Each structure stands twice: as structure tokens, then as C-alpha cells.
Chains A and B, each alone.
Chain A
Amino acid sequence: MKPVNEMRLKIESRSVNEAFARATVAAFAAQLDPNIEEISDIRTAVSEAVTNCIVHAYAETVGQIYIWSGIYENGVIRIKIRDCGCGIENVKQAMEPLFTTLGGERAGLGFAVMESFCDKVRVRSKIGVGTVVTLEKRIKGRENADA
């Protein structure tokens, strides 16, 4: 299926860009007329994926984060967040709640949060090459705004 509208964004992996990235994707999603809950869901999921690029993929270095988003006729938004960082050795394990390779202040809940706020989360990764996280969510918007 071809998206009816697309956007691309390339940002440096600096933590100050986390707020910029989630706000930009949320502004793009606004054309689907989401309700406040759905906007928060998207902002939160994007924030998780972008933060992972900054703290894990590029760790002590600064690299590029590529964000693509597409909107489909059936009210679905798809968001891809890609990095060319260190990659994930075991994706299944990484996605388990509370699993983290950093510890300290990281809860290991980023993927769990993405999964609870999106309909689908897909992760493809290769060590030394990078990671692509694809988020998908159908926006119901005003349909059930009062629900």
C-alpha cells in the first residue's frame, strides 16, 4: 500500500533533539485528526525510539537519525526510526520488559512502552550496521473521542 502523504527528517543524535523529533512527528500526524490520547501515544513512542538511538546506538558519539513517516488512506500512520549505530545482538531479548544493557537510570522499558502505545512495533537490526524501528498505529481520532 502506498502512503497518501510522507515526510522525512534527519537529525543529529543529540538529546536536545528528542523533544524536536516527537513534536515534529506529532505535528505531521495531526492531519489524521487524532485525539489527545493518540497524540500522546505517538509522542511517547517516538521519544522512546529516538532516545534509544542517542543512548544506545551512538552512545558516546554523535550520528545521524533518520525518521520517515507515512500516512495511509485507512487512517494508519507508520513511523520508521533508523540509525547506523552499534545494532542489537538479540532483538527478542532487547524487547523484553525491564531488559537493559545500560542499567543505572534506564528502566529497560522503552520497547514495552512503544508496544503499549502502538498497534505494531517491528525491529530490524544488524550488529555494526544499525537498527530500524517501525511503529504503526491506526488513528481513530474523533470516531471515539468520547469513549
Chain B
Amino acid sequence: MAVKISVTPLRLTIAVSGEIDHHNAAVLRLEADEAIQSSLCKTVRIDFGEVTFMDSSGIGFVMGRYRIVSSYGGAVEVVNLSERLYSMMKLAGLDRLVKLSKKEKGKEKI
């Protein structure tokens, strides 16, 4: 698992690649929260386009960031979801809390 963080004045992007499980989520959380707390961006974009595996730890990760970001009035969006990850996010009801968008067709990894 690897995290790439980029910031523009309007948006913080957290791009994750590799496998998200309970083991990796700890580091992911640390890096993401450091970036969120130092930028306090109104829009936090989580890019799961390069994620090759995710279990419910990934859902917990998004829920946790939603809680932090909405506490200061910001919004979270999750982009580049595969069909599989999208259906897991929906299972969690995350579509009601954050904006979810799928990956372009033909670019799916899992």
C-alpha cells in the first residue's frame, strides 16, 4: 500500500494504491489525517483508482475521514472506484455521506 498526497488551494487529494486492509489502514490513516489537519481543505478527494484489494477497513477509513472533514464543514469525495469497491461503499450506505464516482470503463483493476 502506498499513499500519494497532493494539495491545491481548493482540494486535497489522497491517492491510494495497493491493498487496503486493517494492517495497512493504520499507516494510511496517519498520513491522510496529517494532510487533512494541516490543510483543512474544504474538499478532500480520496482516489481509489489504483487500489487492488479492499475489505471493510477501507470502508472504515472513508467513514473516519468523513467524520473529521465534515466536522470543520468540508466534504469528502471518493473517486475512481471499481464496480466492486463501489458496491462495497454502497453496502455501507456511504453514498449518503460522500460523493462516490466510478472509474471510467475499461480501466478496472478489480
Task: Judge if A60 is at the interface, Cβ distance under 8 Å.
Answer: no
Contact A18–B23 (Cβ < 8 Å) = yes
Task: Judge if B19 is at the interface, Cβ distance under 8 Å.
Answer: yes
Task: Judge if B110 is at the interface, Cβ distance under 8 Å.
Answer: yes
Interfacial chain A residues near B59, Cβ < 8 Å: 107, 109
Interfacial chain B residues near A113, Cβ < 8 Å: 55-56, 88, 91
**Secondary structure dominating the interface of B:** helix
User: Complex: how many Å from CA A113 to CA B20?
Assistant: 15
Mask of A69-101 contacts with B, CB within 8 angstroms, 1/0: 000000000000000000000000000011000
Chain B: interface size category? 20 to 34
User: Complex: how many Å from CA A106 to CA B84?
Assistant: 20
User: Complex: how many Å from CA A37 to CA B29?
Assistant: 28
**Which of the 9-residue segments B4-12, B38-46, B60-68 touches chain A?**
B60-68
Number of CB contacts from chain A to chain B under 8 A: 65
- B25-72: which residues lie under 8 A (CB-CB) from chain A? 25-26, 29, 53-57, 59-61, 63-64
For A, the interface residue count at a CB cutoff of 8 angstroms equals 26
Within 8 Å by CB of B110, from A40, A48, A54, lies A40
User: Complex: how many Å from CA A19 to CA B23?
Assistant: 8
Contacts A105-B64, A109-B92 hold; do A19 and B19 have CB atoms under 8 A apart?
A: yes
Task: Judge if B22 is at the interface, Cβ distance under 8 Å.
Answer: yes
Task: Judge if A34 is at the interface, Cβ distance under 8 Å.
Answer: no
Task: Judge if B95 is at the interface, Cβ distance under 8 Å.
Answer: no
User: Complex: how many Å from CA A17 to CA B57?
Assistant: 15
Contacts A48-B56, A51-B55 hold; do A107 and B63 have CB atoms under 8 A apart?
A: yes
A-B contact pairs, 10 of them (CB 8 A): A15-B26, A18-B22, A40-B53, A48-B55, A104-B64, A105-B25, A107-B56, A107-B59, A107-B92, A113-B91
Q: A19-B21, A109-B60 are in contact. List 6 more A-B contacts (CB 8 A).
A: A16-B23, A47-B55, A48-B55, A98-B92, A107-B60, A113-B56
Q: List the interface of chain B (C-beta within 8 A of A).
A: 19, 21-23, 25-26, 29, 53-57, 59-61, 63-64, 84, 88, 91-93, 110
Q: List the interface of chain A (C-beta within 8 A of B).
A: 15-16, 18-19, 22, 36-37, 40, 43-44, 47-48, 51, 54-55, 97-98, 104-107, 109-110, 112-113, 116
